[in-house]
């Protein structure tokens, strides 16, 4: 019989973990938001934050339509973090 030692990590400690998200993580978040019709918030490596609706996603990039109607493709290589737009910190 195998026993597991599970513990919960407090939210403030979880956000401090040194984990670098992969393209697979970004794809998963963007794809879920696309399927649910939820907006996304993209934190770029150079400091800008983009918010909009995803128009589709593949393994390397996500399409985003911003509130002013502009459409852009964002490469995951340029991204430091992606969340759903309804995520509250």
Q: Where are the domains positioned within the chain?
A: 21-84
Q: Averaged over 14-35, what is the pLDDT?
A: 84
Query: How high is the pLDDT of residue 4?
Result: 76
Per residue in 25-73, pLDDT (tens digit) is 999 999 999 999 999 999 999 999 999 999 999 999 999 999 999 999 9
Q: Measured in whole angstroms, how far is the alpha carbon of residue 71 from the centre of its chain?
A: 18
**Cβ–Cβ < 8 Å for 42, 50:** yes
* Eight-state DSSP code of residue 57: E
Query: Locate tokens 């759903």: which residue?
Result: 84
Query: Locate tokens 């509130």: which residue?
Result: 67
CATH 2.30.30.100 fits 21-84, yes or no: yes
């Amino acid at each position: 019989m195998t026993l597991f030692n599970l513990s919960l990590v407090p939210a403030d400690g979880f956000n401090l973990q040194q984990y670098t998200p992969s393209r697979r993580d970004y794809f998963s978040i963007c794809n879920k938001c696309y399927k649910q019709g939820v907006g996304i918030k993209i934190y770029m490596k150079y400091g800008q934050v983009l918010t909009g609706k995803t128009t589709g996603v593949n393994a390397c990039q996500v399409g985003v339509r911003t509130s002013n109607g502009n459409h852009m493709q964002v490469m995951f290589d340029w991204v430091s973090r992606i969340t759903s737009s309804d995520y509250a910190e």
